[in-house]
A and B are shown apart, each in its own frame.
Chain A
Amino acid sequence: MSPFGTSLRTEVGGVDLDTPVIVASGVWPMDPALWPEGSLDGVGAVCSKGLTLKPRDGNPGCRIVETYSGVLNSIGLQNSGVDHFVAQELPALSFAGRPIIVNIAFETLDDLVEAVEVLKGSALKISALELNVSCPNVSRGGMTWGIHPDSLESAVTAARRAWDGILWVKLSPQAPSVGEFAELSQGCGAEAVVVGNTWLGTAIDNERERPFFENVFAGLSGPAVFPLALRAVWEAAGAVEIPVIGCGGISRPQDALSMILAGASAVEVGTALFVDSRLPASTCRELERHLRKKGLSSVGDLVGRARR
C-alpha cells in the first residue's frame, strides 16, 4: 500500500498509478536491491533503462560531464537486450510492486518489432511501452527518429501495430514542434506522450582541446533544463487530448507541481534522483499539501489548472 492517500491516485494513459511520480528511464538500477533506503516511497511507476533488441555495451570514453546546474550524458544505451530484460531484470524490477514501464530504443523498425515480440512473450506484466524516439534511425543516416514527422510516424505506427498493450511515446525535445509531434503521436494511436528527453549539448575539454565525448554531442538534463521542459509540456498539453507526462529537470517538489499545473497528468523524475532519492516522497507530500490548501480532492483536479 502506498503511504500516501487516495487523492494522489490517478490513471494516466491507461496505467493506474498510486501516485503521479514516475522514475524516468536510465537513472535508477534495474535491481531494486540497489535502491537507497526509502527511495521507493512515493514512486507511482518505474521506467526501465532504454532497451534494445540486442545487448549494447554503450559508448566508449567519457560518459558524464557536470554542467551549470545540470549533467551531460553520453551512455549510448548500454543494456543487456530485451531477452535478458524479460528473463532477469523484469522479475527483479517487479519485486518493487510498482507498474513497470518498458522504455524501448531501436535503430530499425524491424528491430523495434522484433523487440516488441520478445516483450509480448513476458509472463510478467508490462504496464506500458515507452517508445524512445531519441535514438538514431539508421535508414535515415542516423538522424533521430523523433525529429522528422515521417520518421516519427513510421516508428509510432510500427510500435502501435506490434504492441497491443499501452503505448506511450517519449518525444525528443529536438523536434521542431513539440505540439505537432505530440499530436502526430496521438494520431498514430499513442495513449500518452512523455515530454520529453534530454536536450542535445556538448562540452569541450580545454586542456585536451577536444570534446569530452566521443560522439561530440550528449544529452543535457537536470535543473538547468526545467524551464525548457515546462514550456514543452505546456505546448504539448495544449495540442493533444491524450495525457502528457512531464519529464525534464524536475528537481524540487514544487517543480513537479508546476508541471502538473501546466498540463502534465504525471511526471517523470530522473537526474534529480542522483542527488535526492527521497524526491518522489517529498513531491507527494507537496502535492497533498497543495490539494488541501486549494480544497481539492484529487491530483487530477490540478492537471492544467495554470491554463485556465
Chain B
Amino acid sequence: MMDSGMGKPGSPADRKGSLVFSRKVGENCRHIAVELSEATAPSAPGQFFLVREWGVFDPLLGRPLASTASGDRRLEFLFQVTGRGTSRLASLPPGAALELRGPCGNGFPAPVGEKLLLVAGTLGIAPFLGAVSALGEKVDVTAVLGVPGRGWEPFAEWCEDKIPGIRLNSDDGSLGRRGDPVEDSLTLVGPGRELWGCGPEAMLRELGRAYEKGCEKVLVSLERRMGCGIGGCLSCSITTPSGMKRVCVDGPVFDWREVFGEPLRN
C-alpha cells in the first residue's frame, strides 16, 4: 500500500513557480528563469519540465521544455514562440505564477569517454547548455550549432556567450560556416568521441552517419506533442524497431539505433 510520494527517487512532481526573468533572445526566442516554491528532484541534462501559466485552463497543457540550468529551486529554460502556449509564456511579466511538472523523462547519461560532440539545430541547444556546465572540465566538449541564417544572429551570439567556441553553421552561409551542422560534425567525429544530438528529426536521422566514421555512441533527444508527460496518455508514442516507445518516459533521450534502427556501415 502506498499513500503518497509515489515513484522512484528523482520522479516528477507538480510545483508552483514564480517567473524571475524573461529575456528576449533574438526575434522569437525567450530565456526564462523560474524560482520554485519547493525543491524538486535534481534534473539531468536532457530531462524536461511541462511548463504552463499557473491556474489557467486556456491554453491548457504544459509545454515540454528542457531545462538549460537547474538548481535546487531554480530552473532556466529557452524556448521559441511557436503558438498560443509559448506566446502566452513569453508575455508573462516577472513574478507571474507558473506551474511545472518535472523533471520528466530520461536525460543524457554521463558520457563514457572523455570526448563529446554536441550537435544542435537552433533551439536544440537547450539541453546542451545544462550539459556543458554540468560536465565542466571533466570532458572535452565540442559543440556545433546550426541556424537558418542572419535572422538568428542574436540567438547565435547568445549561444556563443554561453558556450564559448561553439561552431556556428548556417544554411545560407550568412553566419559562420555555410552548411548544416551534421556535415560539420561529421568532420569531427571518430572513435572515442561520443555524439549527442538535439534538433529537427531529419537532422537527428542524418547523425547516424557518424557510425560510419567510427563513432560508437550516438544519442538523440526527440521532441513530440505531449499530454501528461509521465507515460500515461501515450500521446507521444513513436514506432521504433523495438516496438512502441513513449518519448516522455522512455526518452526523450534515446540511443540513435533504438529510434532509427541499425545504421548503414561501409
Contact A36 B225 (CB under 8 A): no
- Contact check, B244 vs A78: say whether CB atoms are below 8 A apart: yes
List A29-75 residues whose CB lies under 8 Å from chain B.
29-41, 49, 57-58, 60, 62-66, 68-71, 73, 75
- Cβ of B4 and Cβ of A40 under 8 Å apart? yes
Neighbouring A residues of B244 by C-beta, 8 Å: 57-58, 78
Contacting pair A66 B7 (CB below 8 A): no
Contact assessment for B59 and A66 in the assembled complex, using a CB-CB cutoff below 8 Å = yes
A1 near B: Cβ within 8 Å? yes
Question: In the bound complex, how far is the Cα of B59 from the Cα of A249, in angstroms?
Answer: 15
Q: How far is the CB of B100 from chain A (nearest CB, A)?
A: 11
Partner of B12, one of A36, A78, A96, A271: A36
A71 to B226, CA, bound (A): 11
Bound CA span A66–B11, Å: 25
Q: Does the CB pair B2–A275 fall under 8 Å?
A: no
**Number of cross-chain contacts by CB at 8 Å:** 145
Identify the closest chain B residue to A96 (Cβ).
Answer: B2
Is A97 at the interface (CB under 8 A from chain B)? yes
Of B3, B7, B233, the contact of A3 (CB 8 Å cutoff): B3
Q: Do most interface residues of chain A lie in helix, strand or loop, or is the interface mixed?
A: loop
Give the interface segment out of B20-28, B127-135, B195-203, B234-242.
Answer: B234-242
Are A41 and B3 touching (Cβ within 8 A)?
yes
Q: Does A253 touch B at the CB level, under 8 Å?
A: no
When chains A and B are docked, how far (Å) is the Cα of A18 from the Cα of B70?
39
A 238-278 contacts with B by CB, 8 A: 251, 271, 273-278
Q: In the complex, how many angstroms separate the beta carbon of B3 from the nearest chain A beta carbon?
A: 6
Please state if A64 and B60 are interface contacts (CB–CB under 8 Å). no
Interface size of B in residues (CB-CB distance below 8 Å): 40
Interface residue B101 (Cβ < 8 Å from any Cβ of A): yes
- Which of A1, A64, A223 has the most B CB atoms < 10 Å from its CB? A64
Q: Which of A30, A32, A277 has its CB near the most chain B CB atoms (within 10 A)?
A: A277
Binary CB contact string for chain B from 40 to 64 against chain A (1 if under 8 A, 0 otherwise): 0000000000101000011111100
Give Cα A1–Cα B231 distance, bound, in whole angstroms: 27
Evaluate contact between B227 and A29: CB separation under 8 angstroms: no
- Determine the chain A residues whose CB is within 8 A of the CB of B5 once the complex forms: 37-38
Is A26 located at the chain interface by the 8 A CB criterion? yes
| 17 A-B pairs with C-beta separation under 8 A | A28-B232, A31-B231, A32-B7, A34-B7, A35-B230, A36-B14, A39-B6, A39-B14, A64-B226, A70-B60, A71-B60, A75-B237, A78-B234, A97-B2, A275-B50, A275-B52, A275-B60
Q: A residues bordering B, Cβ < 8 Å?
A: 1-3, 26-41, 49, 57-58, 60, 62-66, 68-71, 73, 75, 78, 95-97, 222-223, 251, 271, 273-278
Residues of B within 8 A of A (CB): 1-8, 11-14, 50, 52, 57-62, 84-85, 99, 101, 225-237, 239, 244, 249
